[in-house]
Amino acid sequence: MDSALLVHRLHFAFTITFHYLFPQLTMGLAPLIVVLKTLALRRNDETYNRAARFWARVFGINFLLGVVTGIPMEFQFGTNWSHFSRFAGGVIGQTLAMEGVFAFFLESAFLGLFLYGEKRLGPRGHWWSAVAVFLGSWLSGFFIIATDAWMQHPVGYTTAADGSAQLSSFWALILNPWAGWQYAHNMSGAVITGAFVMASMGAFYLLWGKFHEYGRIFVRVGVVAALIASVLQVFPTGDGQGRMVAFEQPVTLAAMEGLFQGQPGAPIVLVGQPNVEGHKIDNPILVPNALSFLTYRRWNAEVKGLDAFPQDQWPTNIELLYFSYHIMVGLGTVFIAIAGVAAFLMWRGKLFVSRWMLWILLLALPFPYIANTAGWMTAELGRQPWLVYSLMRTADGYSKTVSAGNGIFTLLGFMGMYMVLGILFLFLVRREIERGPDAEVEAGH
């Protein structure tokens, strides 16, 4: 911990991991709130309206915590990563500014209208405000993804006389092919989080024995959305993102899969532990030829292993990268199984009385958060040792004049503050859950 570089990396890793617990739920809930509002309009059923308002209140609490935890990261570009900001600011400053000026303002303004302006807007105007919140949250996500995609696959830039990268083509930055697949994969992951949270809440109400009507709505909408998003997460978004990594960052693919020696007909490791010193996988359970087929659509295609690259280009923590990737993939498979079984029981009319399945939906709540975190760890660890792939190494991007002691001091401070914010979030959400979707009706009486 006396390494300033390590401390700065841990500092940013902690703040961004904690922060992303909130945006993934807002981006996942936004389309589901639109679905509830649409059902309310089509069926002229106030129950769906109250269900949408309930999730809008949860959305609002989540949005607030996301803003509070997200602002410090903007400053960390200057305080902890000043050399990176000087090098890449001429490019990523465009997308980060657009995220704040356009997307964030759109989302926050219409969220206020959705929460407090229903009587003035009327049913259709209120529906449009929900759509605007959805578009704002997803547009915000796109600009952030476009920023990260440039770091993964830099395009549309020129090198200035001082060595910094300057934007030469705005459209190349926005239409970066890496951003397209990464955005689709990320947003399907966010919908999985929103869907499982909604289904889990519905299961809780049904098991609790209160708010039965809303519990059935939440479970029904959540299970259908979870099944669709989980399938999309695997194909085409996960497949497309994986192939992008294979073609643009082959050393990353080799580390993710634990492929130390390249070979034709490369297998996929289902279970195993990477032994980096021995350049092998210990205790492996393999699927022969599967990696070659998934990557190149040919069973005997040759896949490059880590042995094809200089060791100073290998990801700096292969073990953590390998396990993060396999946790993400494993949980994604579990999500398909859970949502598929639940959808089958719902089709048979047995889901709401199958307490074992309701318990599974309830207990599944934290796992989409774990999967999304593991997915982002895979993306960021896989890019190492580069901060901007093939242009700037991570060791060259941090603030050289900020010592490890200064970094640890502020990291401990952030940990303390974020712990308080996390407790506050849990308290506020718990209060909304106990009040339930009928809270406003009871207050009116």
In the DSSP assignment, the letter for residue 313 is G
**How far is 51 from 32, CA to CA, in rounded Å?**
11
DSSP code, position 266: P
* Closest alpha carbon to 380 in 3, 1, 12: 12
* Whether 87 contacts 165, CB under 8 Å: yes
Per-residue pLDDT of the chain (445 residues; tens, 9 = 90+): 569 999 999 999 999 999 999 999 999 999 999 999 999 999 988 999 999 999 999 999 999 999 999 888 888 999 999 999 999 999 999 999 998 877 778 888 899 999 998 889 999 999 999 999 999 999 999 999 999 999 999 999 999 999 999 999 999 999 999 999 999 999 999 999 999 999 999 999 999 999 999 999 999 999 999 999 999 999 999 999 999 999 999 999 999 999 999 999 999 999 999 999 999 999 999 999 999 999 999 999 999 999 999 999 999 999 999 999 999 999 999 999 999 999 999 999 999 999 999 999 999 999 999 999 999 999 999 999 999 999 999 999 999 999 999 999 999 999 999 999 999 999 999 999 999 998 754 444 3
Structure tokens at 222: 């959540």
- pLDDT score recorded for residue 71: 87
In the 8-state DSSP scheme, what is residue 100? I
Do 367 and 332 meet the contact criterion of CB atoms below 8 Å apart? no
The answer to whether the CB of 342 falls within 8 A of the CB of 223 is yes
Distance CA 304, CA 295 (A): 11
Q: Are strands 263-264 and 302-303 parallel, antiparallel or unpaired?
A: antiparallel
What is the phi/psi pair of residue 393, to 5°? -80, 150
Phi, psi (deg, nearest 5) at residue 162: -85, 5
Q: How far apart are CA 34 and CA 48, in angstroms?
A: 11
Q: How far is CA 85 from CA 93, 154, 176, 404, in A?
A: 9, 15, 20, 19
Please say whether the beta carbons of 352 and 219 come within 8 A. Answer: yes
- DSSP 8-state code for residue 436: -
Q: Give the pLDDT of residue 443.
A: 45
Q: What is the DSSP letter of 262?
A: -
Measure the CA–CA gap between 117 and 111, rounded to whole angstroms.
Answer: 9
Please report where in the chains the tokens 């974020």 appear, as a residue.
418
Provide CB contacts within 8 A for 254, sequence distance 6+. 260, 262, 303, 304, 305, 306, 308, 309
- What number of CA atoms fall less than 13 Å from residue 260's CA on the CB side? 12
Omega prior to 274 cis, within 30 of 0:
no
* Separation CA 19–CA 67 (nearest Å): 8
How high is the pLDDT of residue 260? 96
Give CA–CA dist 413/157, Å, rounded: 37
Q: How far is CA 375 from the centre of its chain?
A: 7
Residue count of the chain, please give it.
Answer: 445
Work out the number of other CB atoms within 10 angstroms of the CB of residue 269. Answer: 21
The alpha helices in 99-238, defined as continuous H runs, are: 105-116, 118-152, 170-174, 177-208, 212-232
Both tokens assigned to 357: 């399945």
Direct distance between the N- and C-terminal alpha carbons of the chain, in angstroms, rounded to an integer: 59
pLDDT of residue 100: 81
Cα distances (Å, whole numbers) of residue 27 to 13, 138, 292, 338: 21, 6, 34, 22
User: For the purposes of burial, counting CB atoms within 10 Å of the CB of 438, is it exposed (0-12), middle (13-18) or buried (19 or more)?
Assistant: middle
The alpha carbons of the chain give a radius of gyration, in whole angstroms, of 23
Q: Verify cis geometry, omega within 30 degrees of 0, for the bond prior to 368.
A: no
Residue of 76, 96, 187 lying closest to 143 (CA atoms): 96
Q: Which sign, positive or negative, has the C-alpha torsion 283, 288, 289, 291?
A: negative
- The C-alpha atoms of residue 220 and residue 38 are separated, in whole angstroms, by 15
Burial class (CB in 10 A: 0-12, 13-18, 19+), 163: exposed
